[in-house]
Homo-oligomer: A and B are copies of this chain.
Amino acid sequence: MQQANRMNPPRPKAQGATIRADQRLFLTDEQLRAGVELLFFAYRDFTGDPDRILAERGYGRAHHRAIHFIRHRPGLTVAGLIDLLGVTKQSLNRVLRQLIADGLVEQAVGEADRRQRILHLTQTGRELEASLSETQRERLRRAYLEAGPEAVAGFREVLHRMMDEGARRLVGGAGRT
Contact = CB atoms under 8 A, between A and B. Distances in A.
A107 B108 CA distance: 58
Work out how many copies of this chain go into the complex.
2
A90 to B, nearest CB: 19
User: Which of A7, A145, A147, A171 has the most B CB atoms < 10 Å from its CB?
Assistant: A147
A61 to B, nearest CB: 10
A33 B139 CA distance: 11
Interface in A102-161: 133, 136-137, 139-147, 149-161
A177 interface: yes
A170 interface: yes
B8 A173 contact: no
Given A34-B156, A34-B176, A151-B153, 17 more contacts: A1-B80, A4-B72, A5-B174, A26-B144, A29-B137, A32-B136, A34-B172, A34-B177, A36-B68, A36-B137, A37-B68, A45-B162, A45-B163, A48-B164, A146-B161, A151-B158, A154-B157
Interface of A: 1-12, 23, 26-27, 29, 31-46, 48, 65, 68, 72-76, 80, 86, 133, 136-137, 139-147, 149-164, 167, 170-177
8 contacts: A1-B175, A1-B176, A36-B140, A38-B160, A45-B167, A143-B161, A147-B161, A151-B158
